[in-house]
Amino acid sequence: MILLENIEFYFKIVVQYGILLMECVGVSILLFTAIKSIWGCLKRDKKVRLTLAKGIALALEFKLGGEVLRTVIVREWSELAILGAIIILRGLLTFLIHWEIKTEEANLE
């Protein structure tokens, strides 16, 4: 029994660090994309909207991965319902951003 508790304890730590890593990567991508897009606006780059949309989509994918990983350590149904709602909202945002990317790519051609 003690062995299983130790395994669960270390598993929870690994998952928490994985969540933190995914969240940090998502935020880093978003910040980098924002800076790159601001620079593109200053240079009057026509592809700045596309660059920003792609960066946001990639950042959301990492954030969504962190939320999915978080479902592994959820203990209560209420927490799972909240995580489910967050995952659905981020999934919808990702879908809308990918639609925006396709529209913007079609406009640039």
Query: DSSP states of 8-37 as a string?
Result: HHHHHHHHHHHHHHHHHHHHHHHHHHHHHH
pLDDT of 1 > 80? The answer is no
CB 18: neighbour CB atoms within 10 A?
15
pLDDT of 56 > 80? The answer is yes
Q: What is the pLDDT of residue 30?
A: 95
Q: What is the pLDDT of residue 14?
A: 93
Question: Residue ranges per domain, the chain?
Answer: 2-108
Q: What is the pLDDT of residue 97?
A: 87
CB contact at 8 A, 41 and 48? yes
pLDDT band at 24 (very low <50, low <70, confident <90, very high): very high
**What's the average model confidence in pLDDT over 29-56?**
91
